[in-house]
Structure 1
Amino acid sequence: MADPFDAALDLLRRLPPSSTQQNLSNLISLRPDLEEDLLSSVDVALTSKRCKKTGRDFLCCDYNRDGTSYRSPWSNEFEPPIEPEDAADLIPGGRVRRMEEAVNAGVDVYRELYYEGGVSSAYLWALDEGFAGVVLFKKTAAGVGKGGWDSIHVLEVTEAAGKRSAHYKLTSTVILDLGLSSAAVDSLELAGNLTRQTQSDLQLGLRDSEVEQSHVVNIGRMVEDMETRMRNLLQEVYFGKAKDVVGDLRSIQPLSEVGREREAHKDVINKMGR
């Protein structure tokens, strides 16, 4: 008999990506015992909340959640509040909190430059040999053409004792949801997600006071490079492939001419290879 958790993941992969959140909720209602495993394993579109203390929006995910409460990166407090003894283990302090504040300031500027709106959040927490974190972006559009872009960048940083370098591991997921509704086309929907991973050893500052800033800069560069790469991949995979399929179904040119052009292109490539 199949493992219930594996069966649930297999089912979610076969259902429409645009309905992942609703399908996940339905599965949890059927098997409450799988809630924690499913929430930590399935990427869904991010939700946002308003920080009551600062009045700024922040993004909610499994990494800043404790039950039904979520920690704001702006106030460093859970909303709604949790028990003080629990908060002591879940709220970062010291260098981790300083880096978290700096990363949030950096990604907020990046969000304005590349998203021109939306919401961003970053969360860090300490590990035995370094720290880990997540950087989040969300942008939605409404109207005749609706759209949603959710970026989830999970990172793990390993610091080697006595060395001025650190090992960074970044796993990034982009969830894209596009839709069009009009009298001309009725309705059209395109949704899915893309996950990529990268690792790198990067240098840190020479002085202890520069190490924290070096981590912030390295994280920012890795996230920016990954987002650019994945944005180009999404354009190629989603729209390039859709254009090819439509072209094969109904071409502007006679398909016989298209076929001859492709054969001529292949012939040129083969001759160049020889």
Structure 2
Amino acid sequence: MAADPFDSALDLLRRLNPKQTTDHLNDIISLCPDLTEDLLSSVDQPLGVRRCKQTGRDYLLCDYNRDGDSHRSPWSNQFDPPLDGGEPGVGGASAEGGSEGAGEAGLPGDRVRRMEVRANEAFDVYRDLYYEGGVSSVYFWNLDDGFAGVVLLKKSSPQGNTAAEGVWDSIHVFEASERGRTTNYKLTSTVILNLSQGGARASGGGGGGSLDLSGNMTRQVEQDLPVESDESHIVNIGRLVEDMELKMRNLLQEVYFGKLKGVVGDLRSVGSLSEGQRDRDAQRELIGSMRR
């Protein structure tokens, strides 16, 4: 039985270097153009940055604000480059990736757009407090029984530091199903982390060596929360994203840095070899005396 090309492409991407996901994805798309929309809406990539021509503010690029080769700015609500034939109608995508408009993002309705503007203002403050820099963007779109959206956050290492590089991308896709005084929120969060150490130090012969640590993590949560007004949606989404980012940061610290510390500790001895040998000899002598 022949393997499904889409499943095979996803399986291949999981086995390749996550730091080069965008390059690998473009290579697969060039080989299988029919999979373009499905792959772009299913594979999380490092977020691109573009400057809004109307406001001069940076915003993040993803599949949820893309229409063809154009991306919508959350600050001006305009597509860049402008779409042929005018602006699209109201549309959007499902938070679970089955898109009514993933890759063909429409403009949100008036009410949802007002919430989008407020959410961008709120998460701009969150970004400044938690990340002390970087770029944030929030995009909303309409659903039949509510609305959905994505919260994007990106932080890169300071420019000009060639010895150490680091990029954090977090993508929080949510779906809000309104049910009277309560709303059901489904949140899918992905963190893409790229860390490297080396570059100038390694090539300069300083003996520092090089390190490349890259990967991603995805978690989901579903919760019913009370809603009194549209402002309550912003508060609820903010709390869900904040809690999820805290949990994922702790998991990354344990998985990435805890495992790395253990590996380095096994490979590198802090003391000299002679001291280590003396300790092992003393240990064997002690165990031998206990057996007599």
1:165 aligns with 182
Specify which of 259, 264, 277 is matched with residue 246 of structure 1. Answer: 264
C-alpha deviation, 1:83, in angstroms: 3.8
Residue 153 (1) aligns with residue 169 (2): no
Query: CA-to-partner distance for each residue in 1:112-149, whole Å, 9 max, x for gaps?
Result: 01111111000000100010000000111141110000
1:101 aligns with 117
* Structure 1 Cα separation of the partners of residues 37 and 68 of structure 2: 10
Q: Secondary structure at the match of 1:11?
A: helix
C-alpha deviation, 1:243, in angstroms: 1.3
Q: Secondary structure at the match of 1:87?
A: coil
Paired residues of 2:66 and 2:72 also in contact (CA < 8 A):
yes
Uncovered stretches (5+) of structure 1, i.e. residues with no partner: 206-210, 261-274
Which TM-score applies when normalising by structure 1?
0.87
Q: Structure 2: which amino acid aligns with 1:155? A: F
Residue 230 (1) aligns with residue 253 (2): no
Which structure: greater helix fraction?
1
* Structure 2 Cα separation of the partners of residues 135 and 44 of structure 1: 14
1:126 aligns with 142
Q: Secondary structure at the match of 1:38?
A: helix
C-alpha deviation, 1:86, in angstroms: 5.0
1:8 aligns with 9
C-alpha deviation, 1:186, in angstroms: 3.1
Q: Secondary structure at the match of 2:88?
A: helix
Give the direction of change, closer, same or farther, for the CA distance of 1:94–1:134 in structure 2 (3 Å limit): same
Identical residues among aligned pairs (%): 61
Q: Structure 1: which amino acid aligns with 2:140? A: L
Query: CA-to-partner distance for each residue in 1:65-90, whole Å, 9 max, x for gaps?
Result: 00000000000111111145652231
* Structure 1 Cα separation of the partners of residues 80 and 37 of structure 2: 20
* Structure 2 Cα separation of the partners of residues 78 and 85 of structure 1: 10
* Structure 2 Cα separation of the partners of residues 119 and 219 of structure 1: 18
Report how many residues are paired.
251
Q: Which has the higher Rg, Structure 1 or Structure 2? A: 2
Specify which of 208, 214, 233 is matched with residue 185 of structure 1. Answer: 208
Cα RMSD over matched residues?
1.7
* Structure 2 Cα separation of the partners of residues 86 and 75 of structure 1: 13
* Structure 2 Cα separation of the partners of residues 126 and 54 of structure 1: 25
* Structure 1 Cα separation of the partners of residues 213 and 74 of structure 2: 32
* Structure 2 Cα separation of the partners of residues 185 and 18 of structure 1: 22
1:263 aligns with none
Paired residues of 2:148 and 2:174 also in contact (CA < 8 A):
yes
* Structure 1 Cα separation of the partners of residues 130 and 9 of structure 2: 36
Equivalent positions of 1:52-67 (< 5 A) are 52-67=53-68
Residue 204 (1) aligns with residue 227 (2): yes
C-alpha deviation, 1:249, in angstroms: 3.3
1:20 aligns with 21
* Structure 1 Cα separation of the partners of residues 193 and 208 of structure 2: 20
